[in-house]
């Protein structure tokens, strides 16, 4: 489990095909302090995707991504040099500053616009209809692993505000309209929706 509070920015150094070439190994460079206390096999959220560290070095770690993960997230289009939001998994007793995030991406959304609004920026995103029904005003959503509060919802589009600090310490600082992001909706919303399906 994660909180959606990004604790490091990594840079994709290498993408290596593994197996029959459908799966990929990714080498991600990080500040050495990010990996302090990390052990082989630990879970790390990479732009919202929960992945297992299969190799650890002083300033990098490697993860393997299956063809399924590559097809269901933005990871399939990642290229060397990409900035990646990082979060180590929660430990008992850690502060829960964002909201509970599983790292299991529900789908991919697209940046519609970014408009300055006072000291922050109002971002609008578009998601598939199947995800939109799980997003509610003042509810929680994780975008590329960043825990955010939804401001408003209009059909398949919704808005969030990004303060300067968040833009500085996450990939939001380089995001542009038209870019795609990993979307994880609120866990409770998913289960409520599933229960309603059985009642229908």
Task: Give first-to-last CA distance, the chain, whole Å.
Answer: 31
Write the burial class of residue 60 (CB in 10 Å: 0-12 exposed, 13-18 middle, 19+ buried): middle
Architecture of domain 8-88: Beta Barrel (2.40)
User: Tokens 């609008």 label which residue?
Assistant: 124
CA angle 111, 115, 119 (to 5 degrees): 125
Nearest to 104, CA basis, from 152, 157, 46: 46
Confidence of residue 189 (pLDDT cuts 50, 70, 90): low
In the chain, pLDDT over 70 holds for what percent of residues? 93
In which residue are the tokens 């995030």 written? Answer: 101
Residue 93 has pLDDT above 90, yes or no: no
Given a cut of 90, is residue 198 above it in pLDDT?
Answer: no
The answer to whether the 8-88 and 107-199 domains have the same CATH topology is yes
pLDDT in tens, 55-72: 999 999 999 999 999 999
Domain ranges, ordered by start, for the chain: 8-88, 107-199
- How high does pLDDT run on average in the chain? 92
Q: What angle do CA 139, 142, 145 make, to 5 degrees?
A: 160
Could you tell me the pLDDT band of residue 195, with boundaries at 50, 70 and 90? low
Q: Model's pTM, two decimal places?
A: 0.92
Q: Please check whether the domain covering 107-199 is classified as CATH 2.40.30.20.
A: yes
pLDDT digits (tens, 9 = 90+) for 116-158: 999 999 999 999 999 999 999 999 999 999 999 999 999 999 9
């Amino acid at each position: 489990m994660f909180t959606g509070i990004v604790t490091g920015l990594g840079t994709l150094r290498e993408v290596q095909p593994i197996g029959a070439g459908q799966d990929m190994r990714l080498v991600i460079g990080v500040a050495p302090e990010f990996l302090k206390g990390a052990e082989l096999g630990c879970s790390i959220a990479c732009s919202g995707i929960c992945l297992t560290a299969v190799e650890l070095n002083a300033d990098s770690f490697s993860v393997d991504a299956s063809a399924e993960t590559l097809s269901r997230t933005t990871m399939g289009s990642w290229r060397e040099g990409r900035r990646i939001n990082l979060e180590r998994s929660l430990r008992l007793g850690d502060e829960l500053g964002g909201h509970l995030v599983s790292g299991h991406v529900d789908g991919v959304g697209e940046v519609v616009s970014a408009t300055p609004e006072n000291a922050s920026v109002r971002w609008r995103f578009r998601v598939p209809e199947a995800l939109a029904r799980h997003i509610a005003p003042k509810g929680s959503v994780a975008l590329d692993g960043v825990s955010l509060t939804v401001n408003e919802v209009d059909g398949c589009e919704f808005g969030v505000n990004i303060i300067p600090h968040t833009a500085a310490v996450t990939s939001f600082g380089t995001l542009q309209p038209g870019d795609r992001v990993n979307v994880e909706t609120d866990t409770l919303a998913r289960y409520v929706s599933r229960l309603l399906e059985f009642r229908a």
